[in-house]
């Protein structure tokens, strides 16, 4: 089996041992196969939306001799899963809004799920907000950079958040902001530079909606600068 990408290695690292892992949009079933081979999952179910990746995932599982313990199913989101069938869930490589939609449409399949490892390509704040609103707590998270692209990965478990998230914590993660590891700092610096450019482009505007936007951007710039001031 080929080595997992850095992004999928980060997803697998956050996964805790489980009886059955469901991997939605499985990317050739590499992640779920690695989880079984490394002993992090006793069984796995890979779900693909389209027939071609479904066939590719089946070939991966067969080539690795895992057909008895990894099932590959064709369907939309959590629809191919039975209620209570999986104990852990991975959804990686989609937008935060897309992941939110998959979870919302499949809430009846999550009764026995004790952990979800999620990797949104964009809109991580949208996903964290949804998790908080539906009774999940982010218990671990990380930031990984691969080929110049920065990804956030989070593990969520059932349990209500006691303290409300700030806007910055929703976007970047409370745990990430407390650790401020090099990858998180790189992400914050990149976004600070972006919002500074946006702030400059809005300086000449006078319309009401532009003023509101300018105020929001200015607050985001100040918040990012304040966090980065604590970096040695």
Asked whether residue 108 is assigned to any structural domain, the reply reads: yes
Does the structure show a pLDDT above 70 at 187?
A: yes
Domain CATH code at residue 149: 3.40.50.150
Same-domain status, 91 and 158: yes
Share of the chain above pLDDT 70, in %: 97
| Residue 178 placed within a domain | no
- Shared domain for 86 and 140, answered yes or no, is yes
Q: Which tokens is 38 given?
A: 């490394």
Q: How far apart are CA 174 and CA 79, in angstroms?
A: 31
Q: Are residues 84 and 35 in the same domain?
A: yes
pLDDT band at 201 (very low <50, low <70, confident <90, very high): confident
Q: How far apart, in Å, are the Cα atoms of 82 and each of 35, 58, 137? A: 20, 20, 24
Q: Is 89 found in the same domain as 38?
A: yes
Residue 48 domain boundaries: 6-168
Residue 112 falls inside a structural domain: yes
DSSP 3-state assignment of 93?
strand
Q: Which single residue is written with the structure tokens 């990894």?
A: 70
Residue 3's pLDDT is 85
pLDDT at res. 205:
60
Tell me: do 114 and 202 sit in the same domain.
no
Domain count, the chain: 2
Picking from 121, 137, 168, the residue at the C-terminal end of a domain is: 168
Domain boundary among 168, 198, 213: 168
* pLDDT at residue 209 in the model: 73
- 175 in a domain, yes or no? no
Whether residues 195 and 130 fall in one domain: no
Asked if the structure places residue 81 within a domain, the reply is yes
Q: Determine the pLDDT at residue 204.
A: 67
Here the tokens at position 217 are 């951007």
What mean pLDDT is reported for the chain? 93
Give pLDDT, residue 14: 98
Q: Tell whether 88 and 202 lie within a shared domain.
A: no
**Within a domain: residue 224?**
yes
57 in the same domain as 149: yes
The predicted pLDDT at position 50 comes to 94
The average pLDDT across 36-53 equals 96
pLDDT digits (tens, 9 = 90+) for 101-148: 999 999 999 999 999 999 999 999 999 999 999 999 999 999 999 998
Residues 59 and 88 both lie in one domain: yes
pLDDT of residue 164: 87
* Residue 163 pLDDT level (bands cut at 50, 70, 90): confident
Average pLDDT over residues 165-191: 95
Q: What is the pTM of this model?
A: 0.93
Kindly give the residue spans of alpha helices, DSSP state H, lying in the chain.
6-14, 30-37, 51-63, 96-105, 124-133, 167-172, 174-179, 182-201, 208-228
Digit-coded pLDDT (tens) for 61-102: 999 999 999 999 999 999 999 999 999 999 999 999 999 999
pLDDT given for residue 208 in this prediction: 58
Do residue 190 and residue 120 come from a single domain?
Answer: no
Sheet holding 88-94, edge to edge: 70-74, 41-48, 18-24, 88-94, 115-120, 149-158, 136-146
Q: Are residues 190 and 123 in the same domain?
A: no
In a domain, 16, yes or no: yes
Q: Does 207 map to a domain?
A: yes
Q: Which pLDDT tens digit goes with each residue over 209-226?
A: 788 888 899 999 999 999
pLDDT at 213 (0 to 100): 86
Supply 6's token pair. 């850095």
């Amino acid at each position: 089996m080929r080595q997992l990408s850095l992004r999928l290695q980060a997803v697998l690292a956050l996964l805790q041992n489980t009886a059955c892992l469901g991997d939605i949009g499985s990317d050739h079933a590499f992640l779920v196969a690695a989880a079984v081979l490394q002993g992090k999952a006793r069984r796995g179910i890979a779900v693909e939306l389209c027939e071609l990746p479904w066939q590719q995932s089946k070939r991966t599982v067969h080539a690795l001799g895992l057909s008895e313990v990894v099932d590959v199913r064709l369907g939309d989101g959590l629809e191919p899963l039975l209620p209570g069938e999986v104990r852990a869930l991975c959804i990686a490589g989609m937008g935060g809004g897309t992941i939110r939609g998959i979870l919302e449409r499949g809430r009846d399949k999550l009764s026995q799920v004790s952990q979800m490892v999620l990797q949104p390509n964009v809109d991580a704040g949208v996903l964290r907000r949804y998790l908080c609103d539906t009774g999940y707590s982010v218990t671990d998270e990380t930031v990984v950079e691969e080929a110049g692209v920065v990804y956030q990965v989070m593990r969520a478990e059932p349990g209500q958040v006691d303290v409300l998230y700030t806007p910055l914590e929703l976007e970047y993660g409370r745990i990430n902001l407390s650790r401020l590891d090099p990858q998180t700092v790189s992400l914050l610096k990149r976004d600070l530079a972006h919002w500074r450019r946006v702030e400059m482009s809005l300086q000449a505007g006078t319309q009401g909606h532009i003023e509101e936007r300018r105020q929001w951007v200015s607050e985001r710039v100040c918040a990012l600068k304040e966090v980065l001031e604590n970096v040695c």
